[in-house]
Amino acid sequence: MNGTGICWTKSCLLASLLRANGIPSGISYQYLTRADDNADEGYIIHALNTVYIGELDRWIRLDARGNKENVHAEFSLNEEVLAFPVRSELGEIDYRDNNLDLDDRLVRILNECTSIQKISADFVM
């Protein structure tokens, strides 16, 4: 184990850990550009988590992706602070969905790719 992973695997792990502790959790998606400021390099599907907060009787989203320079996500009950704000002017989409498991197409891609550089998910969910 090398201590790394992509958002797809991190969101599955977090959902599993939350569920194992009795906390309802799911997966949500964003369709984002690969490049910072244009769509020339195509798009990628970003996975994040949904968590049900019983005391508030609502679902919130959070990002298990991890922070780095220029990428900052926080857990918040009041407002979403996700790693990537969606820029609709670039064709990005925030699905604001709540899925039980990782999409089958993403699972297939993970099983078929031998490295992170070979992962491509240029499809709209």
Higher pLDDT, residue 120 or 59: 59
Q: How far apart are CA 43 and CA 100, in angstroms?
A: 23
State the average pLDDT over residues 87-92. 94
CB-hemisphere CA count at 13 Å for 75?
6
By CB atoms closer than 10 A (0-12, 13-18, 19+), residue 115 is exposed
pLDDT beyond 90 at 124: no
Task: Report residue 55's pLDDT band, with 50, 70 and 90 as the boundaries.
Answer: very high
Name which of 44, 42, 78, 38 is nearest 62 in CA terms: 78
Distance CA 118, CA 97 (A): 26
pTM of the model: 0.85
pLDDT band at 116 (very low <50, low <70, confident <90, very high): low
* One-character DSSP codes across 86-112: --GGGT-EE----BSS--HHHHHHHHH
Per-residue confidence (pLDDT) for residue 4, from 0 to 100: 62
Does the pLDDT of residue 3 top 60, yes or no? no
